[in-house]
């Protein structure tokens, strides 16, 4: 069972950039549940989306897998299907806990763990690729190439499930949803200090795009169908099909 997130509960004279280190790995399930509106719905539905596009004897990639919640959701829907799971994360603390978690909950499944930068991992023979709140941490100039690599490695009819925090399409919408997101975190028990310090830690490493930017980039990468299947405040999930 994960611990309660209190990473930013004490005042700091200097807030360093956010990293997915051991401290974050220990509290990550609690942190993301209390920070991302609709997260549990996204995770629970991922498996259903994946099941509709999975092809036997292909791979399922979870790029930026954190603790493996998305992969577990997919596996529960696919069951004993002939799937090979490739989980990639560049944070050793997260990947280590992911391995412990899934070895226990997915015994017998064909699973490969790679500690690597997702930009350097070729996608091959995939029918499902997951980018769950991950591309927002990739340098903006590298995002199109990442999506092109994914598109090239998908079999026809394969899908990318892309979940992200997004900017509003205009300043008024952005202010509205940003304010509601702050209220969401406060309602989940985070103090003003915690919210402020975490925002400072993330502002140089999490760089969101607008929904329109994501859609345009996916189109440029070659995806034939791009649909928004989920939205809650300034968090969305897209289903892009080759």
Is residue 134 situated within a structural domain?
yes
Instruction: Label the pairing between strands 58-63 and 126-132.
Output: parallel
Residue 206 scores a pLDDT above 70: yes
What average pLDDT does the segment 14-18 reach?
A: 84
Put residue 66 in one of left, alpha, beta given phi > 0 → left and psi -120 to 50 → alpha. Answer: left
Confidence of residue 2 (pLDDT cuts 50, 70, 90): low
Q: What is residue 210's DSSP assignment?
A: E
Number of domains in the chain: 1
Is residue 15 situated within a structural domain?
no
Residue with tokens 């997951």: 130
How far is C-alpha 12 from the geometric centre of its chain's CA atoms?
28
Q: What is the CATH number of the domain that holds 155?
A: 3.40.50.150
Q: Which two tokens stand for residue 218?
A: 């996916």
pTM here is: 0.94
Is residue 12 situated within a structural domain?
no
Is residue 98 situated within a structural domain?
yes
Is residue 14 situated within a structural domain?
no
What average pLDDT does the segment 155-179 reach?
A: 95
Which is nearest to 159 in space by CA: 55, 38, 39? Answer: 55
């Amino acid at each position: 069972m994960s611990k309660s997130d209190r990473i930013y509960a004490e005042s700091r004279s200097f807030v360093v950039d956010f990293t997915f280190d051991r401290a974050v790995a220990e509290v990550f399930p609690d942190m993301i549940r209390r920070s991302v509106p609709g997260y549990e719905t996204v995770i629970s539905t991922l498996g259903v989306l994946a099941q509709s596009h999975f092809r036997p004897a292909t791979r399922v990639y979870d790029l930026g897998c954190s603790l493996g919640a998305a992969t577990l959701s997919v596996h529960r829907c696919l069951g004993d299907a002939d799937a090979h799971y490739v989980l990639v994360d560049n944070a050793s603390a997260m990947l280590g806990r992911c391995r412990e978690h899934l070895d226990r909950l997915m015994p017998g499944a064909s699973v490969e763990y790679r500690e690597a930068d997702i930009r350097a991992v070729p996608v091959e023979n995939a029918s499902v690729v997951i980018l769950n709140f991950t591309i927002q941490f990739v340098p903006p100039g590298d995002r199109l190439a990442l999506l092109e690599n994914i598109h090239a490695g998908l079999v026809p009819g394969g899908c990318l499930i892309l979940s992200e925090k997004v900017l509003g399409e205009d300043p008024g919408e952005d202010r509205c949803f940003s304010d509601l997101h702050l209220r969401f975190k406060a309602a989940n028990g985070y103090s003003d200090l915690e919210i402020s310090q975490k925002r400072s830690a993330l502002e140089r490493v999490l760089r969101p795009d607008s929904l329109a930017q994501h859609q345009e980039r996916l189109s440029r990468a070659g995806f034939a169908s791009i649909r928004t299947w989920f939205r809650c405040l300034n968090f969305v999930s897209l289903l892009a099909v080759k």
